[in-house]
Amino acid sequence: MKKKFIAAMVILSFNTSATISLESLHAEEAAEASKVAIEAQRVRDINLKAAQEKARKQAKAAADKQAVIAKASAAKRANEATAAKVRQEKSDAANDERLADKYREQAYEDEIRNLELIERRAVAKARAENADRMVNAKIDSVVADVNIKKAEGDRIQSTADAARMEASGNKHLKEKIGEAVVNESKSLF
């Protein structure tokens, strides 16, 4: 606007025959100023709207950025939780496998102990049976010795009885012979 005014002044100063009056210039300048003011207000409004739109876009971009960051953070936490869960599951699986191995080994050791116990019992039973056989054999041997001694004693007793009977029979025979001799001798007299 100032350029037009200056241009008009320059033209007027060189042109003496100009019909444009100073007042009309002022009115034109006032109208132009009004137009410029309106245009300036419109530009300010456009700039304000543009600034508001820019601020809205920046706010939206910041909100979108925050949403992306929050989403990425949530995804990271979810991934970390999933990784922790997987690690825990692996740890639990390894622990379960270790416990299964431990229980399997314990069952195996228990079975070995049971077999050793059965073996010891069988050995003890065999030893007891062997000892019983030996005792029974010893008892049978002692009984046989006692029977032999008893038989020997019976034989000796029988021999003694026979000898006594013979002696008694001889005595009786001798007594009878003696009586017969005495009776014979009495009859001779």
Q: Locate tokens 């009495």: which residue?
A: 186
Q: Where are any strands of DSSP class E within the chain?
A: none
**pLDDT tens digit sequence for 67-123:** 888 888 888 898 999 999 999 998 998 899 999 999 999 999 999 999 999 999 999
The full DSSP string for 75-125 is: HHHHHHHHHHHHHHHHHHHHHHHHHHHHHHHHHHHHHHHHHHHHHHHHHHH
**pLDDT tens digit sequence for 110-140:** 999 999 999 999 999 999 999 999 999 999 9
Q: Is the distance from CB of 37 to CB of 1 less than 8 angstroms?
A: no
In this structure, the dihedral spanned by the alpha carbons of residues 164, 168, 174 and 175, taken in order and rounded to 10 degrees, is 150
Enter the DSSP assignment of 20. -
Give pTM, 2 decimals: 0.37
Q: Locate tokens 């056989």: which residue?
A: 133
Q: Locate tokens 């995804």: which residue?
A: 75
- Report CA 177 to chain centroid distance, whole Å: 114
**pLDDT recorded at residue 17:** 45
